[in-house]
Structure 1
Amino acid sequence: MYYVAHRLFAAHDRALAARLAQRIADKTGPENVFLPFCDTNEEALVAKVKGRHLFKLDVERLGRLTSMVAVLHGPSLDDGVCMEMGYAYALGVPVIVMTSDFQTYSLTATGPRFDFPDPLVQAASTGVIRVARLAGQPTVDTPKTRFEIFADRNENQVDRALDAAVEGLLAPSAQRPATASLRDRTEQCAFMELSPYLAGQGDLAALAHDAGYAVRVPDRFIASDPVTAARHDLAEALASDILVADVSGPETPPRAALLIGTAAARGIRIAAYHPRPTFTHADGREPNWRNLMIQYAAAHLTHAAALDDWLRS
Structure 2
Amino acid sequence: MYYVAHRLFAAHDRALAALLADRLALKLGEDQVFLPFCDTDEEDLVADLKGQRLFELDRDRLRRIRALIAIVHGPSPDDGVCMEIGYAAALGAPVILLTTDFQDYSTALHGPHTVFPDPLLDTLATRIIRFPRLGTPTEPQGGSRFADFAARNHTQTQHALNACVDAVLQLPTRPPTTPSPSRDTDTVFAEPSPYTPPHTRFPGLPHATDSTIRVPTRFAAADPITAARHDWAAALRSTHIIVDASGPETPPGAALLIGAACATGQPAVMYLPRSTYTHASGREPNYRNLMIQYSAVALRTPSEVTTWIRA
TM-score scaled by structure 2? Answer: 0.95
CA distance in 2, matches of 1:107, 1:179: 32
CA distance in 2, matches of 1:90, 1:209: 30
Which residue identity does 1:256 align to in structure 2?
Answer: A
The 3 A distance-change label for structure 1 pair 227 and 177 is farther
**Corresponding residue to 1:258 among 256, 259, 271:** 256
Equivalent positions of 1:233-248 (< 5 A) are 233-248=231-246
Which residue identity does 1:192 align to in structure 2?
Answer: A
Contact 2:52 2:290 in 1 (8 A): yes
By how many angstroms is 1:117 displaced? 0.7
Contact 1:98 1:129 in 2 (8 A): yes
Equivalent positions of 1:191-270 (< 5 A) are 191-201=189-199, 204=202, 206-207=204-205, 210-270=208-268
By how many angstroms is 1:201 displaced? 4.8
In structure 1, the residue corresponding to 2:230 is in which secondary structure?
helix
RMSD over aligned CA atoms reads 2.0
- Alignment: residue pair count: 311
Query: Residue 79 of structure 1 aligns with which residue?
Result: 79
Contact 1:125 1:177 in 2 (8 A): no
Which residue identity does 2:147 align to in structure 1?
Answer: E
In structure 2, the residue corresponding to 1:108 is in which secondary structure?
coil
Calculate percent identity across the aligned residue pairs: 53
By how many angstroms is 1:110 displaced? 2.3
Query: Residue 116 of structure 2 aligns with which residue?
Result: 116
Q: Which runs of 5+ in 2 are unaligned?
A: none
Contact 2:98 2:160 in 1 (8 A): yes
CA distance in 2, matches of 1:51, 1:84: 16
Query: Residue 298 of structure 1 aligns with which residue?
Result: 296
CA distance in 2, matches of 1:170, 1:223: 35
Query: Residue 36 of structure 2 aligns with which residue?
Result: 36
* Structure 1 residues 42-77: Cα deviation after superposition (integer angstroms, max 9, x where no partner): 000000000110111011000000011100111111
By how many angstroms is 1:41 displaced? 0.1
Which residue identity does 1:116 align to in structure 2?
Answer: F
Equivalent positions of 1:88-99 (< 5 A) are 88-99=88-99
Which residue identity does 1:298 align to in structure 2?
Answer: A
Contact 2:92 2:179 in 1 (8 A): no
In terms of mean alpha carbon deviation, does 102-111 or 116-125 score higher?
Answer: 102-111
By how many angstroms is 1:311 displaced? 1.9
CA distance in 2, matches of 1:13, 1:298: 26
Contact 1:24 1:166 in 2 (8 A): yes
Query: Residue 160 of structure 2 aligns with which residue?
Result: 161
TM-score scaled by structure 1? Answer: 0.94
Contact 2:107 2:219 in 1 (8 A): yes
In structure 2, the residue corresponding to 1:204 is in which secondary structure?
coil
Q: Which runs of 5+ in 1 are unaligned?
A: none
Query: Residue 134 of structure 2 aligns with which residue?
Result: 134
Equivalent positions of 1:38-57 (< 5 A) are 38-57=38-57
CA distance in 1, matches of 2:153, 2:125: 25
Which residue identity does 2:29 align to in structure 1?
Answer: G
**Superposition misfits of 4+ residues, deviation over 2 angstroms:** 172-185, 200-212
Query: Residue 309 of structure 1 aligns with which residue?
Result: 307
* Structure 1 residues 285-306: Cα deviation after superposition (integer angstroms, max 9, x where no partner): 0000121111111111100111
In terms of mean alpha carbon deviation, does 300-309 or 31-40 score higher?
Answer: 300-309
